[in-house]
Structure 1
Amino acid sequence: MKTPVIDGHCDVLLKLYNNPAIDFHDPKEGRLDVTYSRLRGSHVKLQFFAIYLPERITEARFDHYLEYIDIFHRQVERQGKLRLVRTRLDLEEVMGGQEIGGLLTLEGADALNASPLYTRILYHLGVRLIGPTWNYGNWAADGILEPRRGGFSRKGKSFIKDCGDLGILLDASHLSVASFWDLAASSPRPFVATHSNAKALCGHPRNLDDRQLEELIRRDGRIGVTFVPYFVESGKPASIAGLVRHIDHICSLGGVDRVVLGSDFDGISEWIPGLEHAGQFNRLEEELRKHYTEAQVTGFLSRNWYTFLHSHLPPF
């Protein structure tokens, strides 16, 4: 029996937004890394779908987010095949049943414009995790490539509280270092980094240093190792074995129960050989089994995400 998989980040909705002719449910669709048939073939039980507005949109509007949610319902969700996961009960049912779950996330809160109403609406529509920034700064916080290297604004800190009160999880991937520590100081709840690797092994700015990794581990957060080749290796080709070394490093800090997956499929234009799409999670599993126990491998592939979500999603 295949080990269930939960993947914490993909950009399928961006590609569907850019090209409505792409068919997520066509088994022959060659323009997506993540398709329904590939998820089914890899025994992926839950896929996070990011709402990310392309950089060409210079004035982000709230209705852009609504358009992405509409795309999910019209082009991705399908009765009996893939369903939106909003609650703990939904999570239990997809993990124990035949359907695949889809969890909506927001990457970059620019168009929320510090509005608690907009944040509540997204929650009512099923968004369960928000990364406050992409790489640059906005009204809430600075991202990792923002030259001023600031943290959360006053309104951004109110946003942290609003999300905590609603039960929206927060994602530290893409935050500046100062923003990461502001989030750690301001949020009483655990938070996650859905698609970041270990800076000790690859110095890309989007990766996390050991202090950040240790904070996520201490707080019972989650660290989604990502398949972006230049987040895995610097100056040499990436490999699945190289990705596993990032897992090894996080585990060496005490994070064996905090490691999860965050592929970033469909948000990348380079791939790790042998891990080019969502139909190939088995190759990562094979490499993991060379180094880890059955229980640990199951944890990395799905259980660690499952226990976190089961604790923090609303009951029903």
Structure 2
Amino acid sequence: MNFDAHCDIWTDVTHHYLNQEHDIFRKYHYERLKKGQIEGGIFVIWNDPPFDADPLKRTHQMMAAITQEEPECADILKVSRSYEDMMKAKEEGKMYAFIGLEGLKSIGEDVDMIDEFYKFGARHASLTWNEENPLATGALGTPERGLTDLGKRAVHKLEDLGMILDVSHLNDTSFWDLLSTAHGPVVATHSNSRALCNQRRNLMDDQLKELARTGGIAGLNSFNEFVHAEEDKQTVENLVKHLVHMVEVMGIDHVGFGFDFSEFLCGDTLSSFSSQANPYTIGLEDASHVPNVIAEMKRVGFHEDEIEKIAYKNWHRIIKEVIK
């Protein structure tokens, strides 16, 4: 089974919710995830363009959609708020989803608003998406700008609450500022190796090593532009090369999956970050094709126990250790 540490399904759920639909996860996502042997993951609340113009309004829309969806799909999906919730879902044969926050643009300068999101059920957060905000600077922001004093307060609050702290999307300066501020494990839920594909969203080897030093994890990202600069080489085979390199740099206990599938996102949202016609890696078009990654891992020499660590056990360890 596989744990996906970064999934945008709540974005699609919200789209259908605003069209007055119900039981959305079952209709549009369940079978695909089941075919891909995805047992669960982190489903994020994201202020997706163009709705990021009013990020708090969009966040509250998404929370309302989750509130409607949770009881309607409770027989197949458990919205989990603890390690015990996750294990109970597995015992009952259900999928599970932790609520994440992809960026905290919606809180403005009110760090205490994180408490509201925690009470709702959020157990993961990153400080930014690609933008600059009052807390930190994303990958497309001013390179020299890092965490603010407010951002450091947010880091401490997230750690005190027992939320998974995520550096994916931060620029390099903010990355290093956060690592010098945090005390516990820090993760990058969906970032590849910059040594293999020179994208700002990917991580350099010294960054990967530092995440491992904290006890954290880097999650392999299936977004094609983070795999290879040439479109015809954006393949599962080259994606697994990132995995091999990350394991060599970080160790087998510090790498997982964070696929970031986006083929179901609407055009305006997708075009805000994708410069190609399709956003997927060849052979990994959506979650149903995840077995292709496992097959390639076996082909290049990963043993079964190593595959299990990367597929789900490493993320389970983080959840058990961090989430209170």
Cross-structure match for 2:256? 260
Q: Give the match's secondary structure for 1:145.
A: coil
Q: In 2, are the aligned partners of 1:225 and 1:261 still within 8 Å (CA)? A: yes
Cross-structure match for 1:24? 25
CA 254–156 in structure 1, closer or farther in 2 if over 3 Å, else same: closer
Query: Which structure 1 residue ranges, 4+ long, deviate > 6 Å from structure 2?
Result: none
Distance, in Å, in 2 between the alignment partners of 1:57 and 1:123 is 22
Alignment of 1:56-75 (within 5 A): 56-57=50-51, 59-75=53-69
Deviations 1:141-162 (A, max 9, x none): 0111103531101111111111
Q: In 2, are the aligned partners of 1:114 and 1:156 still within 8 Å (CA)? A: no
Shift in Å, 1:307? 1.1
Distance, in Å, in 1 between the alignment partners of 2:174 and 2:292 is 35
Q: Give the match's secondary structure for 1:213.
A: helix
Deviations 1:243-296 (A, max 9, x none): 110011011113211111111112664211221111111111111112200000
Which sits farther off after the overlay, 111-120 or 183-192? 111-120
Distance, in Å, in 2 between the alignment partners of 1:95 and 1:69 is 24
From 40, 43, 53, give the equivalent of 2:37.
Answer: 43
Cross-structure match for 1:117? 112
TM-score, normalised by the number of residues in structure 2: 0.89
Distance, in Å, in 2 between the alignment partners of 1:129 and 1:104 is 7
Structure 2 unmatched ranges of 5 or more: 271-277
Distance, in Å, in 1 between the alignment partners of 2:112 and 2:52 is 22
Matched, 1:277 2:273: no
Cross-structure match for 1:242? 238
Amino acid across the alignment from 2:142: P
Deviations 1:92-136 (A, max 9, x none): 212333011011111110111232431011111110111100111
Alignment of 1:107-256 (within 5 A): 107-237=102-232, 238-256=234-252
Q: Give the match's secondary structure for 1:192.
A: coil
Which sits farther off after the overlay, 14-23 or 204-213? 14-23
Distance, in Å, in 2 between the alignment partners of 1:76 and 1:275 is 28
Distance, in Å, in 1 between the alignment partners of 2:77 and 2:153 is 34
Shift in Å, 1:172? 0.4
CA 282–105 in structure 1, closer or farther in 2 if over 3 Å, else same: same
From 4, 25, 49, give the equivalent of 1:7.
Answer: 4
Q: Give the match's secondary structure for 1:25.
A: helix
Deviations 1:183-231 (A, max 9, x none): 1000101111011100000001100001100001111101001001110
Distance, in Å, in 2 between the alignment partners of 1:58 and 1:239 is 31
Q: In 1, are the aligned partners of 2:143 and 2:171 still within 8 Å (CA)? A: no
Amino acid across the alignment from 2:322: H
Distance, in Å, in 1 between the alignment partners of 2:10 and 2:101 is 11
RMSD of aligned residue pairs (Cα, Å): 1.7
Cross-structure match for 1:32? none
Between Structure 1 and Structure 2, which shows a larger proportion of helix residues? 2
Distance, in Å, in 2 between the alignment partners of 1:18 and 1:167 is 30
CA 217–261 in structure 1, closer or farther in 2 if over 3 Å, else same: same
TM-score, normalised by the number of residues in structure 1: 0.91
Q: What number of residue pairs does the alignment pair up?
A: 304
Which sits farther off after the overlay, 192-201 or 231-240? 231-240
Q: In 2, are the aligned partners of 1:84 and 1:101 still within 8 Å (CA)? A: yes
Q: In 2, are the aligned partners of 1:225 and 1:247 still within 8 Å (CA)? A: yes
Distance, in Å, in 2 between the alignment partners of 1:230 and 1:58 is 23
Q: In 1, are the aligned partners of 2:184 and 2:215 still within 8 Å (CA)? A: no
